[in-house]
Amino acid sequence: MQQENTHTFTVEDNESNIRADIAISRHFSEILNRSTLKKDLQWLKINDVLSKISTVVKSGDDLVFSILKAPAFEKVEPEDIPLDIIYEDESILVINKPIGMTVHPAAGHFSGTLVNALLYHCSNLPQLDELRPGIVHRLDKDTSGLMVCVKTQKALTVLSNDFKDRKIIKKYQAIVKGRLSSRAGLIETPIGRMPSNRKKFTVTENGKPSKTGYKVLKEYYDYSLLEIDLYTGRTHQIRVHLSSINHPVAGDPIYSRRNPMTDKLCLASVFLSFKHPESGKEMEFSLPLPTHMNNLLEKLNSTFL
C-alpha cells in the first residue's frame, strides 16, 4: 500500500491569482510537476478548507496537500558521510557544506546528500516535509560554505520563521569575470525558470522578486572579488543576477562560458548570523575562502602582476 507525503507552504506575492496546481508546481518544482500532481494528489486544503486544484490562490494563503509517495522517495536512508561541523548543541548544528554536495534528495539525487549525512549523525530530525529533515535553508550543489541545520521542532519553527522574515544574515564571497562599473550596488530583478530549460533560471518579468547586494573587495586584471548579501533566497540567485549584468561567477558551469582559470564554481557562503532558537543569543560564524578560490586568487595575483 502506497503512503502519502504531506507538504505545506504559504503563497507569495508573485504566486498570487493563479491556480493552486500551478502555484504548487512552481513552489515544489524540484520534485513535482503539474502532471504528477494531477495523478498523485490525494487532497488539498487552502486555509484549512478542502479545495480543488483549480482554485485560484491569493498571496498569504496557506496550502497543505498530500500526494502519493514516489517509490524512490519512500524512505531517505542515513548514510555515513563525514560532516565538517563548525558548531553543534542540542538544538542546532552549523556545518561547512562541501562543493558538489546536494542538500536534499530530489529527482536524480536520492543518496549522497546532506540530508543522508544528517540522518546518520542525528537519527531523529524535525521536518517540514519528508525529503528535508533538519533543513531550514539550502545552498546550491556547487556552492560551498556555512549552513545551519536543526535538531528540534522548536529550532525548526523558529529558524524557518526567521528565514522567512529575513532576520538571518548571510554573506557570500564570489570571484567574478570582469571589473564592475561601481564599487557597490543592488541587483533587483525577478528570477524565474527558463522556459526552454527547466533546470536553469533567468531574469524574467514573470519571475519571483529577487534582491542581491554586492561590494567589490578587490580587483584583478579581468576579475573581481565580491562580497555579496542575499535579501531573497531564489535558486541560483547570485549566479543568475551576476550573469545578468555580464559578470558571471568564475567556474560557473551553467551561467558562464568555460573558464580556463578554474573548473569549480567560485562562490562560497562565508558568514552566517542568527539568534539561537532556544536562548536568543546572537550567533555568528565565518569561514575563510575554500581552497579552490584561494588558488584562483593566487593564480590571478601571480599572472597579472
- Catalytic residue set: 140
The per-residue DSSP string of 175-201 comes to EEES--SSSEEEE---EEEETTEEEEE
Tally: H helices and E strands in the chain:
6, 17
DSSP 138-182: ---TT-EEEEEEE-SHHHHHHHHHHHHTT-SEEEEEEEEES--SS
Cα separations (Å) of 129 from 9, 104, 125? 10, 11, 11
- Phi then psi for residue 297, to 5 deg, are -65, -40
Cα 29 to Cα 24, 41, 203, 215, 302, distances in angstroms: 8, 15, 17, 32, 44
CB-CB contact of 177 with 225 (8 Å): no
Say whether 31 sits in a helix, a strand or coil. coil
